[in-house]
Structure 1
């Protein structure tokens, strides 16, 4: 009887977990569809016939007609090309600065023999909760850097949360490796470049993703500090298209005088042009993502 009861309980638990897993998979699938549908909608809209699309109502499950005219106009736009070049510059240079400075700061805070490490950590965490505000920040940045590209690179050169995650990752490296290297005459820069960074590739990949996406999506700081349109990132031009709901030669360099009906499609095409690069890069970094985040989250 006891054996039969145990078997029955196991079957009951198995059935319950089977039902739970089924419901869980269903809910997660619906969540994925809800997340993906806006991107699918924008993609289908960007390659749809403009006249047919404007008369369409409701869900969009496939392109209505087919045309890539909007993409042709987008890539012929001097503003979009300028925005692309500027954004690539901000992503590459900005992420390099972020990783360099963050790794230096994390390495210093990870040293267990640094007696003021806790004090420095508290001071750094303090900046997460208390900030000077927009107007004082603008005044300081404007006085020091003017309206140059540096206003988008230096003020956020180190993000506190990323610094803490990287510091925790560095602390997980066995101390014996450092002791052995120091016996062989290695200095701190050698330890950082030859031991710490090679062993921290997952967290470095995650930090590169965080910082890179932040630079790629950056528009607010650019709208505040930049005055020269030649320095605008792509997202700022995208904002002009989507939010201001206007397309003219003076702002975007796209001649839509005789094709005004394609203006709505151009918005969707521009959104896809801005999103696709990140979607292409993310799968290559995803394998490091969970491991890198967990390294920085397990230990304090």
Structure 2
């Protein structure tokens, strides 16, 4: 006979029946086979809702013209895979230029934004820094009062940045939320560690680069991912400030030729002489795949730091 726990023994001695485990299904315990089967079914449905659309997009992008025509636009599984759509898009046309622009803007913008945000957050995390409270208040107010589209456009125009790549970086260079998260993490670093470095003669730059940043890799990596995703997915600034189609980023091409269903002309794709032009559905699916693959590849590298970096910076401060 198995021994009862003290609380259960008291309840049994008093004649009270032990509580049954909670179950969303009347009469079933959470560990019963019907309950486990229901949970598995719900998880399977959620997975299919995510995987099937993505599979259909990838399959359509590599399907041949005949199968795309027979399927009516979307192919779930290609019989004869071909990469003609990707070859036509990445052979020097509009999409290949847009990919280069997006990669350059994302790399340069993320580096500039990350350096600026780290330096600003470190300055705001030091209580005795010059203009500490006014700058922090100004930063917090920028989260509440957004300037709007027209003032932003007039400012960019007055600076002479219309049709310039800098118009895609400077207006969104510093995000107030990201700076506050970094500042909260920097504040949580023990002050004794920084004071010991100052006693040893370390400058503020040495403290930042040799002590603060090595201890903040998780938060800095997550904020870098936030900036990279923002720059890669941004299309509205390009829609406002970029008039030359040769300077379009990838997301503006995606909006124009997939969302608005515009057709790619012969000068915007490169097809070999005598080769058939891939169907419009395959080209659109290929553009969509090219626009999401870089982020899908980068995200797993910093995903393990996501919860740690955000939660540590958000809870303390």
Structure 2: 5+ residue stretches without partners: none
Shift of 1:28: 4.2
8 Å Cα contact 1:248/1:254 also seen in 2: no
Q: Which residue is equivalent to 2:77?
A: 62
Is contact 1:82–1:230 with CA below 8 Å preserved after alignment? yes
Query: What do residues 172-197 of structure 1 show as CA deviations (whole Å, max 9, x unaligned)?
Result: 11111110011011121111111111
Q: Do structure 1's residue 267 and structure 2's residue 247 form an aligned pair?
A: no
Aligned 8 A contact 2:57 2:74 in 1: no
Q: Which residue of 2 aligns with 1:282?
A: 299
Q: Which residue of 2 aligns with 1:182?
A: 198
Q: Which residue of 2 aligns with 1:152?
A: 168
Contact 1:247 1:254 in 2 (8 A): no
Query: Match of 1:3?
Result: 9
Larger radius of gyration: 2
* Aligned mates of 1:100, 1:21 — CA distance in 2: 49
* Candidates 92, 98, 112, aligned match of 2:113: 98
User: Where does residue 45 of structure 2 map in the other structure?
Assistant: 30
Determine whether 1:202 maps to 2:218: yes
The CA distance in 1 between the partners of 2:287 and 2:74, in whole Å, is 21
* 2:54 corresponds to: 39
Match in the other structure for 2:21? 12
For residues 214 and 155 of structure 1, the distance between their equivalents in structure 2, rounded to whole angstroms, comes to: 12
2:234 is the counterpart of 1:234 = no
Unaligned runs of 5+ in 1: none
Deviates more, 1:59-68 or 1:79-88: 59-68
Equivalent position to 1:124, from 139, 143, 146: 139
Q: Aligned-residue CA RMSD in angstroms?
A: 2.9
Equivalent residues, number: 299
Secondary structure of 1:186 counterpart: coil
Cα distance change on mapping 1:155 and 1:62 into 2, 3 Å? same
Return the offset for 1:64. 4.5
Q: Deviations over 1:88-131 (max 9, x none)?
A: 11111111100110001110111133485444333212111212
- 1 CA distance for matches of 2:38 and 2:220? 36
What is the CA deviation profile of residues 268-291 of structure 1, one whole-angstrom value per residue up to 9, with x for unaligned ones?
012112211211111111111111
For the residue of structure 1 that corresponds to 2:159, the secondary structure is: helix
More helix by share: 1
The superposition leaves residues 63-93 of structure 1 with CA deviations (integer Å, 9 ceiling, x where unpaired) of: 2542221111111242122112211111111
- After superposition, the Cα gap between the structure-2 partners of 1:60 and 1:297, relative to the gap in structure 1 and judged at 3 Å, is farther
Q: Does 1:80 align with 2:95?
A: yes
SS at match of 1:12: coil
Residue 158 of structure 1: SS of its match in structure 2?
coil
| TM superposition score normalised by structure 1 | 0.88
The answer to whether the Cα contact below 8 Å between 2:222 and 2:306 also exists between their aligned partners in 1 is: yes
Cα distance between partner residues in 1 of 2:199 and 2:37: 57
